[in-house]
Amino acid sequence: MKPAEVYILNLEEPFKSIVMHLQLIIEQQFPEVELQFKWKIPFYVLDGSPFCYLNPSKKKGYVDVGFYGDHKFEKYNEFLISEGRKVVKSLRFSSIEEINSEILTYILYEANSNKEKGFWKK
């Protein structure tokens, strides 16, 4: 079992369920994505470049799905949180019910398309 998988399975609820649900959506949309364990969190790599990360924060009570870059997404910017971070934006979820698959999928695809434009830095 990969370190990221062990990490996820050892998470407390509701974080484990949230992360596993996010995993399912991400991996269904991008079957070629590779789950790694970097900076002590599950991290997805796509075509050799950083794609997104899943960061459960027990202290703050949510799971961040983070994206690197200073790109302004065409839609759903109101759902992306930067909180003073210059190159990271994230979607935050405190429960599975908060996860909007349509918004998440759109953000994932736009993040991937912007990777081709130099949005991601290796």
pLDDT digits (tens, 9 = 90+) for 44-103: 999 888 899 999 999 999 999 998 776 677 788 889 888 877 778 899 999 999 999 999
Domain ranges of the chain: 3-115
pTM (2 decimals)? 0.88
Helix, coil or strand: residue 42? strand
Q: Count the Cβ atoms, other than its own, within 10 Å of residue 73.
A: 17
Q: Of 36, 42, 48, 66, whose CA–CA distance to 116 is shortest?
A: 48
Separation of alpha carbons 88 and 82, rounded Å = 6
Where does 3-115 sit in CATH, by number?
3.90.1150.200
Separation of alpha carbons 67 and 50, rounded Å = 9
